[in-house]
Amino acid sequence: MAADTIDITWNGVTLSHEGPYRVADLTGWEDLPGGRIDAVARPNRHGAFDAPIWAEARTVSVDGYCIDPDARDTLLQDLAAAAVYTGDAVAGTLSVTFAGRTLTASARLARSARSLKYWGVGHFGFAIDWWCPDPFRYGEQATGSTGLPDDSSGLVFPLFDGTSLLTFGAVGSLGRITMTNPGTADCYPRFDVLGPFDTGFELLDVGSGRRLRYEGVIPTGVHVVLDSRTGTASYDGVPGYDGHLTVRQWWTIPAAGSSVVQLSTLGSSDPAVTLSATWKPTYW
C-alpha cells in the first residue's frame, strides 16, 4: 500500500485511493472523539465546578466514489452486501491504514448511502458511517512470556576449561516481562498464568509496586487469566474466580511508556509454570 493513501477495511471490502472504491474523505478517525462533561453550575457564581471530561463514542465517516463502467453493477452489489445493519450481532472490526500505521476499532455500521447521479457513465458515489462505542483505536496485539525467577548456576568447574576465560553456567531469569505501549492512551494488559502452584502466585508491577495476588491451588496445565480491563479472574476458562484475588491493585501500561511485570510464587517453584501477557497499544 502506498504511503499517501487511506485504506479502510470493513466486512471484507477495502475502500482505498488505489482500489475500485475510491476514498475521497475520512472524518472522525484521526480526530479526538467528542467530550462529555458532567458539569454542575456554581450557585450564584460564574461558571461551573471543575469536572473530568470523558470521551463519547467515536463516529467515523467516509465519502467516496467508484468509476468503472464495466464492473459498476457488481461493485455496487458487493458494497451493498458488505454495508448492512447487523442488529444485535457482535460488533465488527474497522481497520484503517493511514499515516504509516494500521489501527483498528470495534464498530457498528450506522449509515450506508449511494449517489446514483452519474450512474449512466459508470460512476456512483457512496457515504458510510460507523459508530464505535469504544472510542479508542488499537494497534497490533503484542505478547510476552516468562517462567518463574531462576538463579543462574554460577561458575562451573573446572573454572577455565583449558582457556583463559572463566566458565559460567546458564544465564538466570528474573521472571519478568517488559510491556511497551507506543500509543497515546493507557492500555490494559491481560495475564495468563499456567500452573502448577500449590499455594498461588503474585504479579508485581515493578515500577509502581502495585500487585495482583491469587491464592489457591492451581494444578498442572490449568490456566488462570487476570484481565485488567474488566478486573476479573477466570480459572481454566471459567469466569467468576475473583474471590481468589486477595490483592487487587490493577494497573495499566501508560501511554508512550512501559510496564515491567514480575511473576513470583507463594509456595514452591515448578519449572512448568509460565506467565504470558498480551496487550494492544492504544490510541486516541
pLDDT tens per residue across span 213-247? 999 999 999 999 999 999 999 999 999 999 999 99
**Higher pLDDT among residues 122 and 255, named by residue:** 255
- Rounded mean pLDDT, 82-89: 87
d(CA 262, CA 260): 7
pLDDT tens per residue across span 160-195? 555 656 555 555 678 999 999 999 999 999 999 999
For the chain, give every residue range classified as CATH 2.60.120.860.
142-283
pLDDT at 19 over 90: no
67: helix, strand or coil: strand
The secondary structure element, H or E, covering residue 79 is: helix 72-82
Residue 128, amino acid: I
Residues recorded for the chain = 284
Handedness of CA 159, 163, 164, 170 (dihedral sign): negative
CATH of 142-283, one of 3.40.50.300, 3.30.300.30, 3.90.260.10, 2.60.120.860: 2.60.120.860
Overall fold of domain 7-138: Elongation Factor Tu (Ef-tu); domain 3 (2.40.30)
List, as one string, the DSSP characters of 103-120: EEEEEEEEEEEEE-TTGG
For the chain, give every residue range classified as CATH 2.40.30.200.
7-138
Stated pTM of the model: 0.86
pLDDT value at residue 271: 92
Beta bridge partners of 132: 58
List, as one string, the DSSP characters of 203-242: EEETTT--EEEEES-B-TT-EEEEETTTTEEEETTEE--G
Alpha carbon distance, N-terminus to C-terminus of the chain:
24
Confidence bin at 261 (pLDDT 50/70/90):
very high
